[in-house]
Amino acid sequence: MQYSLILLALFVTGSFAQFSSTAQQAIVDAHNSLRSQIAKGTYVAKGTKKQSGADILKLKWDSSIGTSAQNYANTCPTGHSGAAGLGENIYWSWTSGTFGALDSYGVPASNSWQQEFQDYGWTSNTLDVATFNTGIGHATQMAWSKTGSLGCGIKNCGPDASMNN
């Protein structure tokens, strides 16, 4: 059986992109929905309503960040880039079937990262190493209050030889 890999790289911070403008907006909306719930104190994580966050900026798409993320995704990386000044999430998806349109992967990736809050919760709105290491690292990148921009790239990296059995 042969598996193919779709890689979505998300870079966030204060053009070339494979996502359509509609998909870009859907990704921004998925992030802003989470951020709004946290800001208002209506977000429930792991069955517990969380206290409100302060000064959480509304995100907007940044095409230069999208270009950077796309350039990195084009390398079909196996880990984070280590780029200075950027928060970064990576989402891999494998299938033994055919992939859908690349636009269809941004929101599921965002939902996957947000799921970390549901799986692990958090005990404080102040992020420290102990809290980060509970398994919520990707989700915190979505909720970081002072982040105002994001951009994503996506690449179908083709068959993954390590998945062939």
- Each domain of the chain, given as residue ranges in start order, spans 4-163
Element (H, E) at 152: strand 149-159
Do residues 29 and 116 touch, judged by C-beta distance below 8 A? no
Please report the DSSP string for 35-80 in residue order.
Answer: HHHHHHT--EETTEEPPPPSSPPPPEE-HHHHHHHHHHHTT--SS-
DSSP strand pairing (60-61 vs 149-159): parallel
Residue 119: predicted pLDDT: 95
> Mean pLDDT score of the chain, rounded to an integer?
84
| Long-range contacts, 48-54 (Cβ 8 Å, 24+) | 48/121, 50/122, 50/125, 51/125, 53/125, 53/143, 53/145, 54/125, 54/145
124-133 pLDDT tens trace: 878 888 888 8
Residue 163: predicted pLDDT: 58
Residue 49: predicted pLDDT: 94
Compute the distance between CA of residue 127 and CA of residue 135 in angstroms, rounded to an integer. Answer: 12
Residue 8: predicted pLDDT: 53
Compute the distance between CA of residue 107 and CA of residue 144 in angstroms, rounded to an integer. Answer: 18
Of the candidates 120, 144, 115, the one whose C-alpha atom is nearest the C-alpha of residue 133 is 120
What CATH number does the domain located at 4-163 have?
3.40.33.10
State the DSSP code for 126.
S
Question: From first to last of its 165 residues, what are the pLDDT tens digits of the chain?
Answer: 333 444 555 544 434 457 899 999 999 999 999 999 999 999 999 999 999 988 999 999 999 998 888 888 889 888 888 888 888 888 888 777 777 788 888 999 999 999 999 999 888 878 888 888 899 988 888 898 999 999 998 888 887 766 554
